[in-house]
Structure 1
């Protein structure tokens, strides 16, 4: 029997635990592997493996380079391989610690020759906006995965949410229509699976004997929506491509229950100085904003916009395809070429502004006016590229040039 690996993560710890408990009761022959990084300050990471009846084994692994996440990477694949070799485990659920991001772990598992069949982020809809608006450093909350971890609660939660194709959504009595709509607009392509509290261990499904598990097939037990999500299959390469700024699957326009998503798409470049002066207002205009953009003085650099919790990350992520020689296009992934073709402009190629802002109470008109004011004027645009490159290099410090 081949081992399936499902990854369940998320900063919403109660929602994550409820999701994992459901999988244990709904998928015969499943176990949960968890690395507790809360003990990292003491120099170790605690690993537990449990099934529906309780803990099977527990152990410690030392830190690697003072990094709890590095220790997790070193220990995870060998443990999964041991489970696979045992032959009695059908599904290994990797329950990630709070701030661990599923993308990194899915890639580690796949690189180890194991099969990732599902990636699920567990969410309490009532907590989406509070977490998305929380600009605290993870270290301030005791959630850092390494001494050098500079992530915030907001940007970590956003990546956890947007990477997973499945969201396990708890039945939260505090959540209202606005909360649920915000979740839907932030990740409109995700499959949402409702999760209610798992039955107590006393009433849980009795564990199946190892001999019987060896012959377990998907048709033997009633496949619940959550079980199907954990076993459906997952393409690690496609998921990575969908997150790359050059071809990310960004949300579409939406407006419902007080939540709005603005998709702003233009071909004309930004004036670097005017955009820089507007960064604070643009960052605070929405709970979440992301996308790609270009500056007039940097016509060959594709820039990534990533904002949450009142903080903005701007970084160069390589060249626009239009700036590459023809011979280099063969080395570009097909998904990147396809995304470029959708935005292709006769003069600028794939260079474009494609920014998406999602928030309750979004001031669409004001936001659009501010964005438009940051573009080159007609006169500046007509001056041409040589003149653009002489504009004040306002982003040099931000981009550490």
Structure 2
């Protein structure tokens, strides 16, 4: 059966180096790439190549004025064609710069094909600059659709955190702080170095078996587990860390935020760290689980449904086991899984100052003692952010 590995990332040079390494290390591999740069002209250009060069090229029209939609419509048939041909061992799907691997992995799997790996290629020297870049993708010519409102920072963060494998270039510009930041942002990822050596050194299946990147590409990938690891209710968030000038603060509290005080502090909290994420609890919406996702000085807040504590017992059977397990870890005898669980990662993080600021946004003892009926009467400061 055809194996499919997805290789993505905004660091184009690193991505191309990872793809070329795989192409050389795995005999019988081909690379599929959809270039979305031509989307403004109404088409997406698809190329297929192997180690000897270009095998085919073609154009596919936009679907609903969306380049990513065109990619989805065209990718699975091309992969099926390769699978039916029977001569390809590994299909390397090289994503265009701003395309996120989660969507493509789910599309390929839904198409009945086997994703055996998802890799994000990274230049460690560029992690902090990209994570701090609040520019819209459209401003950089990287938007995948006219309606694409993503930023460079939040797109890069999702690309980085979704992949279980990071192909890391041997960058002369990177220092220990850069490498530590990468590690703390995604501590469970397997980092595979891709150096400047001759990728043509692996010419047979034995060499392929020795290649760390090739093994990672063929190791297997669980789409459902990967989605669960990113879901705000049960996300696998980084742990406390402090090394080489980079810190990760895990802030966990059982008391809800006062909506107005938190709203007034949002800018300071968001700008306190290069990356922050997690789930949080507002007093005026005590039953709603809220997602916190910040990078590049910009914050996205969204409702992701109810806390489990607010659901009737009969509804628990419809909740995935991983969600129930995550809730059990945070369970409070009075509030259930309602909590604050936010994680902040950054060089030069002012941990003490950030903790004081966060604590000041919680309900006071008197406000807390007033109970839920009183909490719900607090001013709904987040209505605009949550588009109520």
Give TM class, smaller chain.
Answer: over 0.9
- The 3-state SS of whatever aligns with 1:120 is strand
How many angstroms apart in 2 are the aligned matches of 1:125 and 1:136? 20
- The 3-state SS of whatever aligns with 2:381 is coil
Superposition deviation, residue 397 in structure 1: 1.2
How many angstroms apart in 2 are the aligned matches of 1:286 and 1:376? 23
- The 3-state SS of whatever aligns with 2:206 is coil
- TM-align CA RMSD: 3.2
CA contact (8 A) 2:170 2:195 kept: no
Report what 1:210 is aligned to. 199
Superposed CA offset, 1:107-138 (max 9, x none): 00000000000000000000000000000000
CA contact (8 A) 1:88 1:210 kept: no
How many angstroms apart in 2 are the aligned matches of 1:399 and 1:147? 23
**Judging changes above 3 Å, is the alpha-carbon distance between structure 1 residues 320 and 82 closer, same or farther for their aligned structure 2 residues?**
same
- The 3-state SS of whatever aligns with 1:218 is helix
Superposed CA offset, 1:61-81 (max 9, x none): 000011000000000000000
**Judging changes above 3 Å, is the alpha-carbon distance between structure 1 residues 61 and 269 closer, same or farther for their aligned structure 2 residues?**
same
CA contact (8 A) 2:168 2:191 kept: yes
CA contact (8 A) 1:121 1:161 kept: yes
Give the TM-score taking structure 1 as reference length: 0.93
How many angstroms apart in 2 are the aligned matches of 1:266 and 1:381? 13
CA contact (8 A) 2:27 2:203 kept: no
Which residue of the other structure, out of 281, 291, 294, is the alignment partner of 1:304?
291
Superposition deviation, residue 398 in structure 1: 1.1
- The 3-state SS of whatever aligns with 2:184 is helix
**Judging changes above 3 Å, is the alpha-carbon distance between structure 1 residues 16 and 399 closer, same or farther for their aligned structure 2 residues?**
same
Superposed CA offset, 1:234-274 (max 9, x none): 00000001100000000000000000000000000000000
- The 3-state SS of whatever aligns with 1:193 is strand
How many angstroms apart in 2 are the aligned matches of 1:148 and 1:60? 22
How many angstroms apart in 2 are the aligned matches of 1:369 and 1:216? 57
CA contact (8 A) 1:300 1:320 kept: yes
Give the TM-score taking structure 2 as reference length: 0.96
- The 3-state SS of whatever aligns with 1:295 is coil
How many angstroms apart in 2 are the aligned matches of 1:228 and 1:179? 26
**Judging changes above 3 Å, is the alpha-carbon distance between structure 1 residues 214 and 284 closer, same or farther for their aligned structure 2 residues?**
closer
CA contact (8 A) 1:322 1:349 kept: yes
CA contact (8 A) 1:89 1:213 kept: no
How many angstroms apart in 2 are the aligned matches of 1:207 and 1:312? 37
Superposition deviation, residue 14 in structure 1: 0.1
Report what 1:45 is aligned to. 44
Matches within 5 A, 1:19-168: 19-168=18-167
How many angstroms apart in 2 are the aligned matches of 1:301 and 1:131? 32
**Judging changes above 3 Å, is the alpha-carbon distance between structure 1 residues 396 and 210 closer, same or farther for their aligned structure 2 residues?**
closer
CA contact (8 A) 1:286 1:362 kept: yes
**Judging changes above 3 Å, is the alpha-carbon distance between structure 1 residues 23 and 214 closer, same or farther for their aligned structure 2 residues?**
closer
CA contact (8 A) 2:25 2:200 kept: no
Superposition deviation, residue 99 in structure 1: 0.1
Superposition deviation, residue 103 in structure 1: 0.1
Superposed CA offset, 1:80-109 (max 9, x none): 000000000000000000000000000000
Structure 1 unmatched runs, 5+:
195-204
CA contact (8 A) 1:28 1:207 kept: no
How many angstroms apart in 1 are the aligned matches of 2:237 and 2:84? 40
CA contact (8 A) 2:30 2:90 kept: yes
- The 3-state SS of whatever aligns with 1:79 is helix
**Judging changes above 3 Å, is the alpha-carbon distance between structure 1 residues 369 and 208 closer, same or farther for their aligned structure 2 residues?**
closer
Report what 2:384 is aligned to. 397
**Judging changes above 3 Å, is the alpha-carbon distance between structure 1 residues 209 and 226 closer, same or farther for their aligned structure 2 residues?**
closer
**Judging changes above 3 Å, is the alpha-carbon distance between structure 1 residues 208 and 126 closer, same or farther for their aligned structure 2 residues?**
closer
**Judging changes above 3 Å, is the alpha-carbon distance between structure 1 residues 378 and 21 closer, same or farther for their aligned structure 2 residues?**
same
How many angstroms apart in 2 are the aligned matches of 1:158 and 1:47? 26
CA contact (8 A) 1:33 1:47 kept: yes
- The 3-state SS of whatever aligns with 1:116 is strand
Superposition deviation, residue 316 in structure 1: 0.3
**Judging changes above 3 Å, is the alpha-carbon distance between structure 1 residues 188 and 141 closer, same or farther for their aligned structure 2 residues?**
same
